[in-house]
Amino acid sequence: MLLISLEAWIAKIKGVKINRSADMISSLSSGVTNTVRDGIKFSFVIISYSWLVENIQSTN
């Protein structure tokens, strides 16, 4: 967010329009969604693996 603010500030000083807010919000929400989805997948794998280790052990 800091870099986005810095970019907007410099663009305002130079008088250049570089970002369209709708596109920026769409891209940020897409990135957040992908990050959350990857985190959920990773958590599912960890939980599934620990369950398998506890419940499907070969007995000696």
> pLDDT higher for 35 or 52?
35
Any domain includes 2:
no
Any domain includes 45:
yes
State pLDDT tens for residues 16-51.
887 677 888 898 899 999 999 999 999 999 999 988
Any domain includes 4:
no
User: Taking CA 30 as the corner, what is the angle to CA 10 and CA 19, rounded to the nearest 5 degrees?
Assistant: 20
- Token pair of 6 as six digits: 């810095």
> Residue 58: its pLDDT value, please?
65
Task: Give the chain's domain count.
Answer: 1
Question: Alpha helices of the chain — where are they, by DSSP H?
Answer: 2-14, 21-55
Any domain includes 5:
no
> Residue 8: its pLDDT value, please?
84
Any domain includes 23:
yes
Distant-in-sequence, close-in-space partners of 23: CB < 8 Å, separation ≥ 6 = none
Any domain includes 15:
yes
CB contact burial 32-54 (16+ within 10 A = b; e otherwise)? eeeeeeeeeeeeeeeeeeeeeee
**Can you give the pTM of this predicted structure?**
0.57
